A = this chain, B = another copy of it.
Amino acid sequence: MGEQALIEHIRNTFYSRSKAVALGIGDDCAILRPRRNHEILVTTDFSLEDRHFRRDLHPAASVGHRCLARGLSDLAAMGATPLAAFLSLALPAHMLQTQAGRRWVDDFFSGLRSLALQHDTILAGGDTSESPADFILADIVLIGSAPIGRSLRRSGARSGDLLYITGSLGGAHAELAALLASNRPSRSTTSSLHPHLYPQPRLAVGSTLLRRNLATAAIDLSDGLSTDLTHLCESSHLRAELDASAIPLHPLTQKLPPQEALHSALHGGEDYELLFAVPSTTPIPRSIAGTPITRIGTLARQNKNKPLITLIHPTKATTELKPAGWQHFSR
């Protein structure tokens, strides 16, 4: 399989029609036709071997899934609907020449494809290259759309708004820690209960928040709650008070000591849940699109005597929460 064969393989695997994709793989550019009165949202994310994944630990299907999930989650955070994805993929030369290498590529695309199908996302183009070193390099672009002026930004929250999150936190960190401790490749190829290997971007929640005009601001929890809430506070020029006992912990954290479980939830990162702000007068259901929604804190005017984020412990004692989010691992 050469580079041209790889492109053909991708084209055949992902061939599909869509009103939004007027022209897919095979010309100098792809052509997208968003709906009238919609704006275009664009996000790009690297997935680099040994920075974002390890070939010896992550199943190839998980690498493909996570590569797409990162971009889809950015669209979800803004309430956008995905139109198309573009993948740039560089592979070490030997991977196209060995059976194991070709199987890796097949599994990578099958993981990416099944998540893409789930969210009506078409792979409409990209680039391929031989990798300059023995590392797999991927960069994904997601393009989505939303009605003009309605996209959820980090900057729209107001003092008095309440903070909510989808799902539960800490699971991705707990699963990754277990994976690193075992130091053996995971054989898992299914997505249920694998918050690290197969995170679920919250597109249905994001688009519901936008459609029903529920949220004033939103962000996805990719770097960890402490870091991403800091971004939201800084963008909205507000401070936050976070109720530690309200934060829903993922079942996988239950094997950990309580302090460590909370630490995973606050700083673990890569849970890809949504954090959003809602006016206190707006009623929020307990679940949206089947995903549980939990209130975890409030936003207030910045005050030089108060930290940007105050963590309220179960004892009612308060401490400052500093951003200490996820640093991508390396060997």
Contact = CB atoms under 8 A, between A and B. Distances in A.
Interface of A: 22-23, 26-34, 36, 39-46, 48-52, 73-75, 77-78, 80, 84, 86, 88, 90, 124-127, 129-133, 135, 137, 139, 141-144, 148, 151, 153-155, 219-220, 235, 328, 330
Given A27-B155, A132-B49, A141-B141, A40 B33 contact: yes
Contacts of A50: 132
B78 A29 contact: yes
A31 B27 contact: no
A86 B148 contact: no
A229 B200 CA distance: 44
Contacts of A36: 36
A139 B88 contact: yes
Given A29-B75, A127-B139, A133-B133, 4 more contacts: A33-B40, A42-B86, A43-B125, A86-B141
A30 B43 contact: yes
A35 to B, nearest CB: 12
Nearest to A30: B42
B133 A51 contact: no
A328 B125 CA distance: 20
Given A27-B78, A88-B139, A127 B41 contact: no
Given A28-B154, A154-B27, A86 B129 contact: no
A148 B34 CA distance: 11
Nearest to A42: B30
Nearest to A274: B28
Contact of A29 (B41, B48, B90, B330): B41
